[in-house]
Amino acid sequence: MVGTVYEEITLKNLGDVSAVERGHLAEPEIRQTTVRSVVDTGAETLVISEAVQKELGLRTEHLRESTLANGEKVVCKIAEAVKVQWKDRSMACEPWVLPGAAEVLLGSIPLENMDLMVDPTERKLVGVHGDEPLGRIY
């Protein structure tokens, strides 16, 4: 059994990041937060709290029903996209906003996209293919 793995990640409002790239916003104005996330390979994607959604200024795009690990069904908000960054790796995704969530969950889709896996011995994230992320197009 691996136990709980925590990793620090930075979440940025992707709209703000794009606005900086287009010259419409100064970089210090990007809404972002660094959090201690639970690495949850059983979670499908990035899951955030309503507080993190508010802090990043993310609009709700739509709603979707989800099934929790205990079998309970809940309706989650799907927020506009964020940039997820772990060390030198990053990817964009639409986070699920779980009502009542206290922690951020870093799920399997962001892990796969950043070419990361859990090292069960060290209880930390490592690159699947070493220090160089490998992308797949298929």
In this prediction, residue 130 has a pLDDT band, given cuts at 50, 70 and 90, of confident
**Domain residue limits, the chain:** 8-127
What is the model's pTM?
0.90
pLDDT digits (tens, 9 = 90+) for 108-127: 999 999 999 999 889 999 98
Question: What is the rounded distance in angstroms from the CA atom of residue 102 to the CA atom of residue 50?
Answer: 9
Question: What CATH number was assigned to the domain covering residues 8-127?
Answer: 2.40.70.10
Distances (CA, A) of 24 to 15, 19, 27, 33, 83: 11, 5, 10, 21, 18
User: What is the pLDDT, as a whole number, of residue 2?
Assistant: 61
